[in-house]
Structure 1
């Protein structure tokens, strides 16, 4: 499989499977990026790498970035003839230490654009990591291993990522006419740490500043306090998720108890980091189901 989040890879760092992995520094791709804070003076420290090899029986082929200090969005806009007016900020995962820019960014965004949905890949700020690739993978493996075993020290968070998500939503709404989107139909879909970022934007954003809806894909399943005006949530996770399979579905229950719209998909197999879907499992239905859910809520009805 070509699309696997780096977070899933990290679970195998100390195993023989990890020895089959290769991390190769690459040049930053040429992207049509839009800076979230054009006047910011932060030094550009980001590192791009290509991760390849095998995780068990799964083939890995993914571009990643880490040490992001200058957050951006990259638009993937639909053919105007197909445009629905809906927009989605796509937040990749990577434990707030890295971003899976291919499997949980560009691939997702291009698929959404084909459905007439404007997509914007969010490159948000991250925890600082060692410049050396091996030292980085060791630190990532340790963090994800602690998270998988619910051990202390696996405090996975980055408040600046939430700030960047809210800034991205605001930027898109400000330039809605240019992007041909409806400011009232700008939401988010996030994967793993990106799911946590989308969730935090929904919980911490005020009123119209928050996402209009969120896709919460293999994020933590623990409960949260849900505001009475929280946006609709589409949640998805595999029952064999290597990080969160023992947590139940409390977050979906919290949404339901707050009387807010929520849909939950719990796939039998897929593990963590299945991205657009793992062949041979029902996770391949993720994006069609997400767009069907948007359609059910009237969010894909083209503006007249």
Structure 2
């Protein structure tokens, strides 16, 4: 009986040590969220080859899931992780939690950001809502860095696909605070990691679904959902819809790079037929023009959405990326 009791205590301790903390982004009212009684997150599971992808389709309450490394390994470096999903949803497992767990292996803390989607049914001023959440995430982590054993000057952001657009938007639009910031906490990430990112909003380069979800206007949320329900035809339909030219320019992040843009690591597969590899190439060119440090890792094959597991090769970009993160954050 005593042995069983001790085993239960040990098992409980093991479970608690690997439990992840989930913290809400905001105290009280969430800015630009409509007040809708009973609104909750909605999720779905989609098949993808031999795997199933857990997809969050609606975010009612934005939050951060905290993945801290073992104290003996901790480097004081942290990365905010933005899952992709075309600004329609969040591929929260393989583009979120899996990346955080991998970073932990090298002593890097991971904070998976469950950011709100730019859906006019649930939010006001939809184009700024994801960026508000990203700004709040870096503010929250920086202001509580000591609690998590993090160096406030070693906080980066990582993003995949449309999450890469959000990450690069934070890295190029941090000067203007879209949230309350009474302490004037820096909203600039110290580095960026972009995985097959949407960068540009221009017709010839962008992912139309991501663009229209973020800055498109005119379609009702119901009509937009109907178009987006068939991803094979949605791009051709969305390109025919007009989008404000100034917004296209503002959210084409290759046009927003300055000499103060954070150093960047970029990964893309050349055969990506969802988000064109030219998105990454243009961003690299803009960084180089402004003398910002950039390192890239390109696959010949791999398509889109592979996260940290490109099935075409045994070489994984994230190993090189973690080496790069440790190198640029070396004291």
Name the CA shift for 1:221/1:40 in 2 (closer, same or farther; >3 Å): closer
1:215 matched to 2:173: no
1:112 matched to 2:103: yes
Which of 256, 270, 285 is the aligned partner of 1:225? Answer: 256
Aligned to 2:291: 259
TM-score, length basis structure 2: 0.68
1:179 matched to 2:148: yes
- Return the alpha-carbon distance in structure 1 between the equivalents of residues 20 and 90 of structure 2: 15
Which structure's CA Rg is the greater one? 2
- Return the alpha-carbon distance in structure 2 between the equivalents of residues 257 and 199 of structure 1: 17
Question: Of the two structures, which has the highest relative contact order with CA contacts closer than 8 Å and spacing of 6 or more?
Answer: 1
Name the CA shift for 1:274/1:129 in 2 (closer, same or farther; >3 Å): farther
Name the CA shift for 1:50/1:106 in 2 (closer, same or farther; >3 Å): same
Which shows bigger deviation, 206-215 or 264-273? 206-215
- Return the alpha-carbon distance in structure 2 between the equivalents of residues 193 and 246 of structure 1: 14
TM-score, length basis structure 1: 0.74
- The count of residues paired between Structure 1 and Structure 2 equals 241
How big is the shift at 1:128?
A: 3.1
- Return the alpha-carbon distance in structure 1 between the equivalents of residues 101 and 113 of structure 2: 14
| Structure 2: gaps of 5 or more residues | 1-18, 176-184, 201-253
| Structure 1: gaps of 5 or more residues | 1-29, 131-156
For the residue of structure 1 that corresponds to 2:110, the secondary structure is strand
How big is the shift at 1:280?
A: 3.0
Summarize deviations over 1:102-155 as a string: whole Å, max 9, x none.
Answer: 11011111111121001000000013399xxxxxxxxxxxxxxxxxxxxxxxxx
- Return the alpha-carbon distance in structure 2 between the equivalents of residues 115 and 265 of structure 1: 19
Whether the aligned pair in 2 keeps the contact of 1:192 and 1:218 (CA below 8 Å) is yes
Name the CA shift for 1:196/1:88 in 2 (closer, same or farther; >3 Å): same
Whether the aligned pair in 2 keeps the contact of 1:190 and 1:215 (CA below 8 Å) is yes
CA RMSD, Structure 1 to Structure 2 (Å): 2.3
Which of 39, 45, 49 is the aligned partner of 2:40? Answer: 45
